[in-house]
Amino acid sequence: MTNQRVALITGGNRGIGFETAKQLGEQDVIVILAARKLADAIDTAERLTGDGIDARGIQLDVTSDPDRRAAADYLSTTFGKLDILINNAVVAPKETLFVSKTTETTQEEFDFIYRTNFFSIVHLTRELLPLIKKSPAGRIVNLSSILGSLAVHAQPDSPIAGFRVLSYNSAKAALNMFTIQLAADLAPMGIKVNSAHPGWVQTELGGNEQAPMTIADGAKTSVALALLAANGPTGKFIHLGQEIPW
C-alpha cells in the first residue's frame, strides 16, 4: 500500500474534472482519471504524466455496475485503498440549463438526469467505501451546485430564479441530502464528506462565454475539500471556503 494519497476523479478527462486532477497531482496526489471511454481516460492521464504528475486512466461509466466493480477491483489490486473520491461526473438536460421548466419535465429527462447525477454517485460511493475506510484520512467530495439549494431558490428575489430546471436542480438537492447523511454516518471514522459548488464556470455545461469563472478557479473548491485537514468541516455545502445554505 502506497504512502501517497490516491484520488479517483469521475469525469476526469475534461473540464473541472481534469483541472481538479491536475491541481491534486501538483500536490503529490496519485490521480486516477475516470472516463466513459478508456482511450479518453488514458490520453488525458498521459497529458498529466507529461507534466510530471502520477496519473492513471481507467474506464468508468458511472452508470454501469460492472464498470463500478471493475474500478473498485483496480484500486484494491493496485493501491489497496482510496484516499479521495471526487464524484465529479455530471450530465445536463439535453436542452439546456438556461430553460426553466417544472411541470413540463418529462419522465425521460428525470430518468436521464437522476441516473448519472444522483443514483450513480450513491452506488459508486457504496462500492468504493471499503477502500476509503482503509485510508488514514478519507475524503469524499460530491460536485453539487447552488442550483440544488432550497434556501436560495426560496428567496423572494432569488439570484438563480432564471434556472428553475426541476430535473437537474432536484437531483443536486438529493445529492446534498446524501452528503449530509453520509457525513453523519462516517464521522466516527474520520472520513469527511462535503458538497462542493464550483461556481459558474467556463465549461461546456456552464457556457464558455457567459460564465465568469475560469476552469482553474472552478476546481479550487473540490481540491480544497479533497485535502482537508483533520479539523476541517464535514457535512457542509461549500464554495471557495464559504458555506452555502442547503
Query: Of the given ranges (1-10, 48-57, 91-100, 179-188), which has the lowest mean pLDDT?
Result: 91-100
**If residue 218 lies in a helix (H) or strand (E), which one and from where to where?**
helix 215-218
Tell me, yes or no, whether 238 lies in a domain.
Answer: yes
Rounded to whole angstroms, how far apart are CA atoms 91 and 186? 27
- Is 81 a domain residue? yes
Range of the domain at 204: 6-91+118-150+169-243
In whole angstroms, what is the distance from residue 43 CA to residue 58 CA?
A: 10
CATH for 135: 3.40.50.720
65, part of any domain: yes
Picking from 134, 33, 122, the residue whose alpha carbon sits closest to that of residue 83 is 134
Q: What are 31's three cell numbers?
A: 490521480
Residue 111 within any structural domain of the chain: no
What crossing angle do the helices spanning 15-25 and 38-49 adopt, rounded to 10°? Answer: 40
Domain count for the chain, please give it. 1
- CB-based contacts of 75: which residues, under 8 Å, 6+ apart? 6, 8, 32, 81, 82, 128, 131
Q: Name the nearest CA neighbour of 198 among 154, 242, 139.
A: 242
Task: State residue 171's pLDDT score.
Answer: 98
Give the cell for residue 196. Answer: 462542493
Identify whether 217 is part of a domain. Answer: yes
Give residue 2's pLDDT.
79
Contacts for 231 with CB less than 8 Å, ≥ 6 apart:
none
Q: For residue 186, is it within any domain? A: yes
Band (201; pLDDT cuts 50, 70, 90): low
The Cα–Cα gap between 69 and 204 comes to 29
Residue 212 has pLDDT above 80, yes or no: no
Q: Which amino acid is at 182?
A: L
* Mean pLDDT, rounded, of the chain: 93
